[in-house]
Structure 1
Amino acid sequence: MALQRCASLLLLLLLCVCVGAHGGFKGFRSFRTLKGGHEVRERTGSEERWFTQKLDHFNGADGREWKQRYFVNEAFYKPGGPVFLMIGGEGPANPAWMTNGTWLTYAEKLGALCLMLEHRFYGKSHPAADLSLGSLRFLSSLQALADLAHFRSVEAEARGLSGSRWVAFGGSYPGSLAAWFRLKYPHLVHAAVATSAPLHATVNFPEYLEVVWRSLASERADCPALVQKASRALLERLSDPESHDDVTKDFNLCSKLQIKTEMDSAYFLEMLAGNFMDVVQYNEDNRDFEGATGTNITIKVLCGVMGDASLGEPYARYAAVARLMMDTFSIKCLNASYESYRGDMTDASWDGPAAGGGRQWVYQTCTEFGFYQSTDSPNQPFSGFPLAYHVKQCADFYNVSAEQLAEAVAQTNEFYGGYDVRSSRIVLPNGSIDPWHALGVTQDITPDLPAVFIKGTAHCANMYPARSEDLPQLALARDHIFLLLQRWLKQ
């Protein structure tokens, strides 16, 4: 359950891991309990390959190298066709994407060669012996982009594709990388599809939970108010030691609840809020091909529970949601100890409980992005995990101060431009239900930097395989993106 808590932790984004399989941690609200890469690989038949990569692209005196994992699908390639490069993110690259997904529909129509490169420090791509702070200094979006550039250059030369047009694909954090790859290396990548990409870095991101409020209300008008009432009732119980035995029982905790500091309370409250945050972010997605489980839990299901007066007061319904999620993911009990979580997150070994992506991703948020989904706005349904709670984790886990965090986020926006993207041939799809759209681009910047805002869809929806249940506007969005690619590849 330590990892399950990681799964609620930062709620960050970003990949969906739209392109990864992960055991779960608190990040982009990207990960659910998925099958491991090996299991999925056996099902898909995709063969993993290895690329010799530089450890530090920005120090010519450092000659150290390592092996980076990648995958290839040549089934649709026609001589002279483009090369599609799917970018991995904050979790293991899932080879299921080599046989499924909208990008392969495009590849078949356009005769494209398809490659997927795993992100350094995630999955099996281990540039260093451990995850110590000395090693993690080589983990950044800048190094990841340089990995992509070097991979593209070497593979193009080796395969005789130097004259081919390359298109970058990514969802969530990899969506940002796709846009930035085109922005920073325009001579190497011709176009990019940057799905659900948070392009603006920010320390405090209370807007995430504001979108959660609106998304819940779109299903049932009183749903967010019921959640808010339940969360406040739970906060009151946490402040009363005499209520802790009842809370322990109500939420099936692994041991008796102990609230020693504000971090303990915030950790527990955010963990339970994560049930709603995760479901909203991935509402009605189509990730079954990845090996995901529990995708039948939707906003409608959660609001149905919260609206069921037969279960008791909103607090009792909130506990019922927690039990539903535990049953869905076969979790026996919840570990509500912040100190236990802190121990997991500071374990620097590759065998550690947060090595699947939690320690790495939270490090990136503390040193580049922020993205902390706080309860600092009054227009959201949860209580008790303010910005200070998130910022203290940076100090607890990586010795990063609040001042260093703020400076790092400012540098990120200075380097990439935030919302003010100055490039061409980048399409930016987002879904209205997805809380991450608040940090993305939802209106056209220029005719060559179009946005595709898909009402009623969630995180990375346009990346998943089409199905009969898809909203008409989602099908139209996929078609629109294809027409853009078709036109751009002729330019």
Structure 2
Amino acid sequence: MGGLKFFDHHKRAEKYFNMSKIELRLIKQPVDHFNETETRTWMMSYAQNMEFYQPNGPIYLLIGGEMPLYNQMDSLFDGLVNNLAKETNGALIMSEHRYYGKSLPFPELVTDNMKYLSSQQALADLATLLKYLKSTFLSEKSASPKVVVVGGSYAGNLAAWMKLVYSDLVDAGISVSGPVLATKNFFQYMEIVFKDFLQHGSPECYDKIKEILKNYETLLSTPEGIEELKRQEKICDYSDMTKKENKQQFILHKLYILAKIAQYSENIDEFKEECERMLNTSRIEFLFNEKNQPQDCYDINFYKSLKNWEPYMISWMYQTCTEFGFFQTLDYNNQPFTHNLPLEYYIEICTTLFGFDFDEKRVDKGVKATNALYGGRQPNITKVVFVNGDVDPWHSLSVLKDLSDEAPAILIPNSSHCKVLHRDTEQDSNEMREARKKVKSLIKSWIGL
């Protein structure tokens, strides 16, 4: 079932990593783990680094999240889990999530083909992989290997949920920056972004953000204002900024620049640097990554941009529309940042990409089912450590207090999304060093080392 090698479809990874340490492999998976009458199969990608492995060593399964495998391979070469494997003679395995990268049950991401994309199916894929790995690592001279599952962000959810659902296969887990509480209207995300700029930027910067967003709102409210906005922001003349979905997309692009600093900052000085730019220019600079953008202007077009989405973005949107929500809105009261990114913007994406059935009621149903299935922020779980950074906007949906002695939570001050998994540096805070030390100590004790 597993063990079929392949060498042709992750060539891009060779540009970034020393692939001589890595073996890229495939394993056959059912399209539907929960329907015996569905007999179709597909090939799931995974990678392994056996550099440190010795018989009786543990398996560290680094769970792939909502992007291609080659975008997530850092931990196979460096960082917290790599160090754990080195210290415990462990094997490093990284999986690719179904419907991301090359792990495609179907070649086309059309709505009917995507009905098998869910966290439950993904967990079952991981169970199939672990059963195969445990059987291949087992010999007459070795005991059944211990398994530690590790994930960051959505994959942090999967790490916790693997220990919850497949406790017979998993001995311990590390859940990093995992938003385990599904939430339709995730207004707390931007709320924390703004607070980060207040705390780590300055009160003047916080006020400047309010001023800029209010100015955008004023300009977007009249034909004359729209013309002035186009001039200031170099928006293409043919972009129709009278359409509400284009107005909302413009605001989203601006907010994303602030959110990216909060979510991915390597150090909190980045807040001050962005604040200096805003205070000097009185605007939030554009940061486009979209394909097919004109060279001399920015085309703000909601429907055109959806057509240019990368496949992994479509897959993740499907999961948010059907399971998680996580829609980062400005829909909350008592805030001075305008209400120009509403929930309806995201619902429009769901219905545009997947059909009219993917409406707000469908999101509500999925969110409710997800929290009922996994337990939200109170999963019935042991031997999992939850790690978050307090700068990361996602931490508000994670486990922030100890569930028990065997399900502790660590909140790292001034730390961002998944940063604890990164390599050690001289700039690391004492709190970061202590967090990594504690995680390693917990895992070693839980697997009997």
Q: TM-score, normalised by structure 2?
A: 0.90
Q: Give the 3 Å change call, closer, same or farther, for CA 186–76 of structure 1 in structure 2.
A: same
How far apart are the structure 2 equivalents of 1:50 and 1:205?
36
Q: How far 1:380 moved relative to its partner?
A: 6.4
Q: Name whichever of 397-406 and 412-421 sits farther off.
A: 397-406
Q: Corresponding residue for 2:4?
A: none
Once the 2 structures are TM-superposed, how far is the Cα of residue 284 of structure 1 from its aligned partner?
A: 1.3
Letter in 1 for 2:305: Y
**How much does 1:261 deviate?**
2.6
Partner of 1:48: helix, strand, or coil? strand
Q: Gaps (5+ residues) in structure 1?
A: 1-34, 286-295, 345-352
5+ residue gaps in structure 2? Answer: 1-10
Partner of 1:481: 439
Deviation at 1:123, TM superposition (A): 0.9
Given candidates 410, 418, 424, the residue that maps to 2:368 is 410
Instruction: Answer yes or no: is 1:65 the counterpart of 2:41.
Output: yes
From 75, 82, 85, the counterpart of 2:51: 75
Structure 2 CA distance for aligned equivalents of residues 362 and 255 of structure 1:
30
Partners of 2:228 and 2:12 in 1: how far apart?
A: 36
Mapped pair 1:471 → 2:429:
yes
Are the structure 2 counterparts of residues 339 and 128 from structure 1 closer, same or farther at C-alpha, using a change threshold of 3 Å? same
The counterpart of 2:205, out of the listed 223, 227, 248, is 223
Q: Percent identity?
A: 30
How many aligned positions are there?
Answer: 427
Q: In terms of mean alpha carbon deviation, does 375-384 or 120-129 score higher?
A: 375-384
Q: How far does the alpha carbon of each residue in 1:438-474 deviate from its partner, in whole angstroms, 9 at most, with x for none?
A: 0001111111110000010010010010111111111
Tell me, in whole angstroms, the C-alpha distance in 1 between the residues paired with 2:113 and 2:237.
34
Summarize the Cα distance change of 1:326–1:417 in structure 2 as closer, same or farther, 3 Å threshold.
closer
Cα 1:381–1:472 change in 2 (3 A) is farther
Q: CA deviation at 1:97?
A: 2.7
Q: 1:136 to 1:247 in 2, by over 3 A?
A: same
**Aligned positions of 1:120-269 closer than 5 A:** 120-160=98-138, 163-219=144-200, 220-269=202-251
The aligned residue for residue 338 of structure 1 is 302
Deviations 1:345-381 (A, max 9, x none): xxxxxxxx32431111011000000011110123364
Partner of 1:12: none
Contact kept in structure 2, 1:166 and 1:188, CA below 8 Å:
yes
Q: Is the 8 A contact 2:137 2:145 kept in 1?
A: no
Q: Cα 1:38–1:355, aligned 2, differ >3 Å: closer, same or farther?
A: farther
Deviates more, 1:405-414 or 1:390-399: 390-399
Q: 2:420 aligns with which of 448, 452, 462?
A: 462
Q: Which residue in 1 is equivalent to 2:266? A: 284
Counterparts in 2 of 1:42 and 1:465: CA distance versus 1, 3 Å: closer
SS in 1 for 2:144: coil
TM-score by length of 1: 0.83
Which residue is equivalent to 1:115?
Answer: 93
Residue 259 of structure 2 aligns with an amino acid whose one-letter code is M
- Equivalent position amino acid for 2:261 in 1: V
- Aligned equivalents of 1:255, 1:46: Cα separation in 2: 49
Q: Within 2, Cα distance between the matches of 1:128 and 1:380? A: 45
Aligned pair in 2 of structure 1 residues 43, 154: CA closer, same or farther (>3 Å)?
closer
Contact 1:202/1:369 (8 A) holds in 2: yes
In the other structure, the counterpart of 1:6 is: none
Counterpart CA distance in 1 for 2:32 and 2:382 is 29
Q: 1:117 to 1:208 in 2, by over 3 A?
A: same
- SS of the residue 1:120 aligns to: coil
RCO (CA 8 Å, sep 6+): is it higher in 1 or 2?
1
Q: For 2:397 and 2:261, how far apart are their aligned partners in 1?
A: 19
Contact kept, 8 Å, 1:89 with 1:118, in 2: the verdict is yes
Letter in 2 for 1:367: T
- The answer as to whether partners of 1:228 and 1:383 remain within 8 angstroms in 2 is no
Residues 369/89 of structure 1: CA separation in 2 closer, same or farther (3 Å cut)? same
* Displacement after TM superposition at 1:300 (Å): 2.1
Q: The residue matched to 1:167 in structure 2 has which SS?
A: strand
SS of 2:212's partner is helix
**Corresponding residue for 1:386?**
342
**1:277-296 per-position Cα deviation (integer Å, ceiling 9, x unaligned):** 111111116xxxxxxxxxx9
Moved over 6 A (4+): none
CA offsets per residue over residues 246-297 of structure 1, 9 Å max, x none?
3223223344431243212111111111110111111116xxxxxxxxxx99
Contact 2:75 2:421 in 1 (8 A): no
- The secondary structure found in structure 2 opposite 1:145 is helix
Which shifted more, 202-211 or 93-102? 93-102
Contact 1:69–1:118 (Cα < 8 Å) also in 2: yes
Q: Which residue of the other structure, out of 440, 443, 451, is the alignment partner of 2:409?
A: 451
- Checking the alignment, whether the CA contact within 8 Å between 2:185 and 2:328 is kept in structure 1 is yes
The residue that corresponds to 1:440 in the other structure is 398
Counterpart among 255, 268, 278 of residue 306 in structure 1: 278
Counterpart of 1:379 in structure 2: which amino acid? Q
Structure 1 position 136, deviation (Å): 0.6
| Residues 154-203 of structure 1 deviation map (CA, whole Å, 9 limit, x = unaligned) | 12112327711100000000000000000000000001000000010011
Deviations 1:223-253 (A, max 9, x none): 2221111011011111211233332232233
1:87 is aligned to 2:63:
yes
1:111 alignment partner AA = N
Matches of 1:404 and 1:330 in 2, distance apart?
32
Shift of 1:435: 0.4
The 3-state SS of whatever aligns with 2:69 is: coil
- Displacement after TM superposition at 1:38 (Å): 5.0
What secondary structure is seen at the aligned counterpart in 1 of 2:151?
strand
- Secondary structure of residue in 2 paired with 1:222: helix
Higher deviation after alignment, 151-160 or 368-377:
151-160
Amino acid at match of 2:151: G
| Greater C-alpha radius of gyration | 2
In structure 2, do the counterparts of structure 1 residues 43 and 438 end up closer, same or farther at CA, with 3 Å as the change threshold? same
User: What is the rounded CA distance, in whole Å, between the counterparts of 1:256 and 1:223 in structure 2?
Assistant: 33
Cα deviation, residue 392, structure 1? 2.2
